[in-house]
Amino acid sequence: MLKITPYLGFLVVIVSIGGLWYPILGYFMFLTIGTLFITSIFRGRWFCGNLCARGSYLDYGIINISKKRKNPMILSSMWVRLPVFTLLMVLMTYRISVTFAAHNTFELIGTVLVSMCLVTTIIGTMLGGYFNTRSWCIVCPMGTMQRFIGGNRYQLQMVHESCTDCKLCEKVCPMELEVRDIGNNPDCIKCGRCVEKCPNDSLSF
């Protein structure tokens, strides 16, 4: 299984900041969206826990400034997530569509993508700093999209007989999921941290 590394997070900084001078860097967003779309068909939110550059930025960068407060329940509500998803998708589609009338469409699309990356990075940084490292990942439109495409795929399995209720798994879960009652949770990002932490090998994929 691939694992998020600290190095992936640098890509977020490079695209968000470097893209202000080199808009072509924004096309990295298309690569990201294409990859997560394909992986979500087979493994749900696996991309979030193993390959996302922003996930790496949060896990290895923002963790150092995070207050590590419990995320407010409202963040995981679909009443918040769906409007955020719709707003960002409509905004991105509209802004890209108006570039078609210009002569430098390719560069302008890059600028739109860079600005989306920068804005969501700022929001992710603020949420991660004030609440918990991966707060943004609860409302992120790309996470919500993966949930809907393949949320029931590649589920965490639990052997209840060997579980001693020590709750170590829940302490390390970046999505603050109730791992012991995980069932078929489509927001599990398949990071495997709970599996590694469990002293009784009660968890597996």
> Residues interacting with ligand SF4, by CB under 6 A?
36, 48-49, 52, 54-55, 136-137, 140, 142-143, 156, 163-169, 172-173, 175, 177, 179-180, 182, 188-194, 197-198, 200, 202-203
DSSP helix/strand/coil, 203:
strand
Q: State the nearest-atom distance from the C-beta of 101 to ligand SF4, in Å.
A: 31
Q: State the nearest-atom distance from the C-beta of 38 to ligand SF4, in Å.
A: 13
Q: State the nearest-atom distance from the C-beta of 94 to ligand SF4, in Å.
A: 21
Distance CA 161, CA 159 (A): 6
Q: State the nearest-atom distance from the C-beta of 57 to ligand SF4, in Å.
A: 8
- Would you say 15 or 52 has its CB closer to ligand SF4? 52
Distance CA 137, CA 123 (A): 11
Alpha-carbon torsion, ordered 158, 161, 167, 171, to 10 deg:
-20
Residue 143, token pair as written in the block: 């996470």
Distance CA 195, CA 156 (A): 9
- Would you say 107 or 166 has its CB closer to ligand SF4? 166
